[in-house]
C-alpha cells in the first residue's frame, strides 16, 4: 500500500459513535459543533456523520461557516453565534441559519431582515461570567422586551436561550448556571419560552449533569478527544477520529556531530539514521515544540530532533531499518499504539483542541 505524502485520515464512524455516546450519556439533544472546519476534521463530512449519529443541530461560530455547509447540501438546523460588527443577517435569513444574539443591535438587525413569511430563528445568548459575547445583564430586560415583541408579531422564532461556561471549576460553572437561570426566568416573565436551553459544552456535559438542560453543545468530544488533563479519550468512552500521517521523504545516515535542521540546535550524539517527515509548521506542526514531538514509525516510538521547519521535520531512528515511503504516524488513536493529540499538546504546552484544529489546508483530509 502506498503511503500518502501527508494526510489527515478522518474516521467518520468514530464521529457518529461519539455523538451516540453523548446522546446516551446526557439523555438530551446534542448540538454538534463543527466550527473551524470541524476542528480541522472537515466540516461537511463531519456534519453528515454527526447527524447520522443523532445530533439534532449543528453549531458554528460564524455565518459564513453555516453558509458553506448549506452549499454542501446540509439542510439540518445550524446556529451561528459570533458575528462581524454591523452584520445584517440577510444571508442567514435567506438560508435558514439560526443566529445567536448578543446585543440589542444584533436583535434589531435580525428583526429588520425578517418577515412574517420568513421569521428569523434566534438563540438569545446571555453573559453569565465569561466576559465574552452575550447580552449584558444590564441590557437583559430591554432585549427581552423587544425579542418578545418581535416574536409576537411573527418576525422572530426564539428557538434557544444559551450561554457559555468557563470550565474553571464546578463552583464557577454553577455560579454561571445560576446567573443563566436568572436570565431564563427573566425571559419567561416576558412570555419567552424557548424550545431549548443550552449552556454545557463537552466538559460540563460529562461532569456536571445539572448543566445538560435541554441540549448540550459537543465540540471536542465528537472528535474523540478529552477536554480533561487527567482523563484520556478511552477512559471517557471516546474514539479519536483523526490520524495525522505522512511518508518518509528521505533517509540519511550521518556521523556523530552532524547538525540537524536550522540553527543546529541538535547534533547527532553518535552515528545514526535520520529520516525526513514532510510536514512542518505550514501544516500545523508546532515549531515551538521542536525536539519534543513523538511519532510512530514501523510500530516504534521516536521523537523529532532539531527545529521544525515550514515543510518538514527530522526524526532520529537510530539503527532501526527504515525506507523512503514508510509510514510515519504523528498522532492518532493511542489505543492503537501511536502518539495521541494529547501527547502532542503536552509537548507544545497547549491543548488537544489546538493540535487538531491547526492542521493546515495543505494536508488532505481523507474520510475513512
Residue 348 contacts by C-beta under 8 Å, 6 or more apart in sequence? 286, 288, 289, 292, 293, 354, 355
39, 125, 223, 262: the active-site residue? 262
Spatial distance between the Cα atoms of 199 and 126, rounded to a whole number of angstroms:
10
Q: For residue 35, indicate whether it is catalytic.
A: yes
> Cβ(222)–Cβ(12) under 8 Å?
no
Beta strands in 211-312 (DSSP E): 215-218, 242-247, 250-254, 259-260, 266-267, 272-277, 294-297, 300-305
Which one, of 57, 54, 58, 59, lies nearest residue 24 by Cα?
54
Kindly write down the DSSP assignment for every residue of 102-155, as one continuous string: -SHHHHHHHHHH--SSSPEEEEEEB-SSS-SSSB-GGGHHHHHHHHHHHHHTTS
The stretches of the chain forming alpha helices (DSSP H) are 12-26, 35-39, 43-52, 63-71, 90-94, 104-113, 140-152, 170-189, 202-207, 341-348, 352-357
Taking each helix axis from N to C terminus, what angle separates 43-52 and 12-26, rounded to the nearest 10 degrees? 50
Q: For residue 179, indicate whether it is catalytic.
A: no
35, 125, 223, 281: the active-site residue? 35
- How far does the chain reach from its first CA to its final CA, in angstroms? 15
> Cβ(21)–Cβ(53) under 8 Å?
no
Instruction: Give me the active site residues, please.
Output: 35, 262
Amino acid at each position: 500500500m502506498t503511503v500518502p505524502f501527508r494526510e489527515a485520515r478522518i474516521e467518520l464512524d468514530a464521529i457518529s459513535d461519539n455523538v451516540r455516546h453523548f446522546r446516551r450519556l446526557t439523555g438530551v439533544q446534542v448540538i454538534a459543533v463543527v466550527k473551524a472546519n470541524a476542528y480541522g476534521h472537515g466540516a461537511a463530512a463531519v456534519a453528515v456523520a454527526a447527524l447520522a449519529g443523532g445530533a439534532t443541530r449543528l453549531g458554528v461560530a460564524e455565518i459564513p461557516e453555516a453558509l458553506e455547509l448549506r452549499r454542501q447540501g446540509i439542510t439540518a438546523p445550524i446556529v451561528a453565534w459570533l458575528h462581524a460588527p454591523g452584520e445584517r443577517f440577510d444571508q442567514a435569513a435567506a438560508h435558514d441559519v439560526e443566529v445567536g444574539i448578543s446585543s440589542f443591535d444584533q436583535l434589531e438587525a435580525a428583526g429588520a431582515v425578517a418577515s412574517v413569511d420568513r421569521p428569523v430563528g434566534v438563540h438569545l445568548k446571555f453573559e453569565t461570567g465569561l466576559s465574552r459575547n452575550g447580552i449584558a445583564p444590564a441590557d437583559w430586560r430591554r432585549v427581552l422586551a423587544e425579542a418578545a415583541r418581535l416574536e409576537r408579531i411573527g418576525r422572530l422564532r426564539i428557538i434557544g436561550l444559551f450561554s457559555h461556561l468557563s470550565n474553571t471549576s464546578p463552583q464557577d460553572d454553577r455560579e454561571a448556571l445560576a446567573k443563566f437561570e436568572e436570565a431564563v426566568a427573566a425571559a419567561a416573565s416576558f412570555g419567552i419560552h424557548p424550545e431549548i436551553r443550552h449552556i454545557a459544552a463537552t466538559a460540563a456535559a460529562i461532569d456536571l449533569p445539572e448543566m445538560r438542560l435541554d441540549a448540550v453543545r459537543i465540540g471536542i468530544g465528537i472528535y474523540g478527544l478529552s477536554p480533561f488533563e487527567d482523563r484520556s479519550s478511552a477512559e471517557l468512552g471516546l474514539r479519536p477520529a483523526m490520524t495525522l500521517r505522512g511518508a518518509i521523504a528521505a533517509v540519511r545516515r550521518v556521523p556523530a556531530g552532524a547538525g540537524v535542521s536550522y540553527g543546529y540546535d541538535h547534533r547527532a550524539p553518535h552515528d545514526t539514521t535520520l529520516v525526513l517527515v514532510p510536514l512542518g509548521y505550514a501544516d500545523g506542526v508546532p515549531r515551538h515544540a521542536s525536539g519534543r514531538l513523538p511519532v510512530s514509525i514501523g510500530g516504534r516510538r521516536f521523537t523529532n530532533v532539531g527545529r521544525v521547519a515550514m515543510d518538514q521535520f527530522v526524526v532520529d531512528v537510530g539503527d532501526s531499518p527504515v525506507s523512503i515511503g514508510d509510514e510515519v504516524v504523528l498522532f492518532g488513536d493511542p489505543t492503537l499504539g501511536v502518539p495521541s493529540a494529547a501527547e502532542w499538546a503536552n509537548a507544545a504546552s497547549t491543548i488537544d483542541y489546538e493540535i487538531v484544529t491547526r492542521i493546515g489546508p495543505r494536508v488532505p483530509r481523507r474520510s475513512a
